[in-house]
Amino acid sequence: MLSSARAWEVLATVPDPEIPVLSVCDLGIVRHVQADDEGVAVTLTPTYSGCPATEAIAADVRAALVEAGAGSVEVQTRLDPPWTTDWISEAGQEKLRRYGIAPPHTLQPAAPRPVRLVPRAVACPRCASKRTTRLSAFGSTACKALYRCEDCREPFDYFKPL
Amino acid sequence: MAETREPRLEYVLRLGDSALVLGQRLSEWCGHAPVLEEELALANTALDLLGQARLLLTRAGQMEGAGRDEDALAFLRDPQAFRNVTLVELPNGDFARTVLRNLLFCAFQEQLWAGLRASSDAELAAIAAKSAKETRYHVEHAADWCVRLGDGTDESHQRMQEALDTLWPYTAELFTADAVDEAAAATGFGPAWASLEAGWQKLVRPVLEEATLAVPAPTAFRSTGKGGVHSEHLGHLLALMQTLPRSHPGARW
């Protein structure tokens, strides 16, 4: 049997398969944990519909909790409210930056917008310069875009706000 | 003959099948896109569409209540049982036609998701809220390319104009009202697609104008994919997509 607090501690050690410096807790996808004598129930909210990591994450969460002695583990998926990059913790944002990925901007409240957005200045995670250029709207995964810093000349990923 | 079903189920199948078929079409660019960046963009867009299709077809299977899951619906139905709009099953053509179709269809999806957030079906509303965020990036990316190519060289402009002349007549199907549409709107299940045209035009027309493209005049042509009567292209697409699960029933990896 595992307490809820202990279950959260275990979950904080489960890495995101695509960005292993972030735990599933840093990413903000663990929405609810319920622990009792029967076992642990975890509610996850998936990131992108097409994210291939979603099923791997559920399997990793289950395995980690079982290994920690949780007994029976139930992983549920909740779509609503939808995941947003605003749920990435502050610690998670700092970890992203140190890993070389520019963290997402905070989302603005929904407002009418022109169909074509002008990307905002994204600061280079290495040298903090704001003189950066977008090279590719989609990066190594759907959640990232590829940028280049015009000062230190290094390419870097930008975690797109969702 | 097209199978007839409960209108709300038909409505969800139109959504799910359209996302699935366009996702499959875009996947064909894998390994063939003009540049690496677009390889990534098209594949990622395809993945999002497939993810949306999985959620929608799962919901359709639950509503149908016949024990069919997302895989059974995607892989074990014949073309005439598919309810996608014809626009998404047309061959990719060149890159111009591909990005233009993404603009036309994803801008339509954007209108749909906005309307579906108020759906009386909580699951559908949740799928819409989630998908809307992804679709925004798809529209933005397609719009960027339409302007760059339309307002580009003589060659790229000509190809974009040809793409628009080819695809535009197929957009009429999106907004053609029918019994499924009316039933969905009357029960608060989802917006009548016909009601989305004004918002769609408002999104798409300024992009086409900036791209210096001439929007063709309306014609009497109406494609009929959402009613289950498809072009000759869907069967070929499904043959490729379905061959493995049909040849090896129950295969897993």
With CB atoms and an 8 Å threshold, state whether A50 touches B50: yes
Q: How does pLDDT run across A32-44, given as a tens digit for each residue?
A: 999 888 889 999 9
Distance (Å, whole) CA B171 – CA B179: 19
Answer whether residue B184 shows pLDDT above 80: yes
Sequence ranges of the domains in chain B: 7-247
Hey, CA dihedral for A139, A144, A145, A146, is it positive or negative? negative
Q: Which residues from B are below 8 Å from A117, CB to CB? A: 140
* Integer CA distances (angstroms), B122 to A32, A161, B14, B62, B127, in order: 20, 25, 18, 13, 9
When CB atoms are compared, the residue of A79, A83, A160 closest to B127 is A79
| Average pLDDT of every residue of chain A | 87
Q: Are strands A132-136 and A155-159 parallel, antiparallel or unpaired?
A: unpaired
The predicted structure's pLDDT at residue A33: 94
Residue A161: alpha-carbon gap to chain centroid: 11
Comparing A8-22, A50-64, A83-97, B149-163, the range with the smallest average pLDDT is A50-64
For B24-65, how does the pLDDT look when each residue is reduced to its tens digit (9 = 90+)? 999 999 999 989 889 999 999 999 999 999 999 999 999 999
- Distance between CA atoms of residues A120 and A155, nearest Å: 17
Better-predicted residue by pLDDT, A70 or B64 = B64
CA distance A89 to chain B (A): 20
Is pLDDT above 60 for A137?
yes
**Alpha helices (H) along B172-232:** 179-186, 197-210
- B144 vs B150: CA distance, rounded Å: 10
Strand A155-159 with A144-149, pairing: antiparallel
Q: What is the DSSP string of B3-24?
A: ----HHHHHHHHHHHHHHHHHH
Using a CB–CB cutoff of 8 Å, tell me whether A77 touches chain B: no
State residue B72's pLDDT score. 96
What is the identity of the amino acid at B242?
Q
Selecting from B51, B125, B203 the residue whose C-beta is nearest the C-beta of A49 gives B51
pLDDT of A27 > 70? The answer is: yes
Contact B203 A115 (CB under 8 A): yes
pTM: 0.90
A141-152 tens-digit pLDDT: 778 888 999 999
CA distance B142 to B110: 13
- Chain A hits for B134, Cβ within 8 Å: 48-50, 142, 162
Contact at CB, A50 and B129, closer than 8 angstroms:
no
Query: Residues 6 or more apart from A52 whose CB is under 8 A from it?
Result: B47
Give residue-wise pLDDT tens across range B131-174: 999 999 999 999 999 999 999 999 999 999 999 999 999 999 99
A50, B47: Cβ pair inside 8 Å?
yes
Nearest to A49 among B123, B130, B144 (CB): B130
Q: Which among B43, B41, B11, B9 has a CA at the least distance from the CA of B26?
A: B43
pLDDT (0 to 100) of residue A110 = 53
pLDDT of residue A162: 84
Compute the count of residue pairs across chains A and B with CB atoms less than 8 Å apart. 87
pLDDT tens by residue, B67-117 = 999 999 999 999 999 999 999 999 999 999 999 999 999 999 999 999 999
pLDDT over 50 at B2, yes or no: no
Is B76 within 8 Å of B242 (Cβ atoms)? Answer: yes
Confidence band, pLDDT 50/70/90 cuts, at residue A139:
confident
Angle among Cα B163, B164, B168 to the nearest 5 degrees reads 125
Residue A156, amino acid: F
- Closest-CA distance, A71 to chain B, in angstroms, reads 27
* Chain B interface includes A118 (CB < 8 A): no
Measure in Å the smallest separation between the Cα of B112 and chain A Cα atoms: 16
Strand order in the sheet with A30-36: A30-36, A39-44, A72-77
Q: Please state the ipTM of this predicted complex.
A: 0.81
**A116 contacts B134? CB cut-off 8 A:** no
Q: Does A53 touch chain B (CB under 8 A)?
A: no
Q: Which of residues 3-42 of A touch B (CB under 8 A)?
A: none
Q: Do A80 and B126 touch (CB under 8 A)?
A: yes
- Determine contact: A107 vs chain B, CB below 8 A: no
| Per-residue confidence (pLDDT) for residue B1, from 0 to 100 | 38
Q: How far is B130 from chain A (nearest CA, A)?
A: 5
Please give the CATH number for the structural domain made up of B7-247. Answer: 1.20.1260.10
Amino acid at A55: E
Contact (CB<8Å) A115/B107: yes
Q: A115, B55: Cβ pair inside 8 Å?
A: no
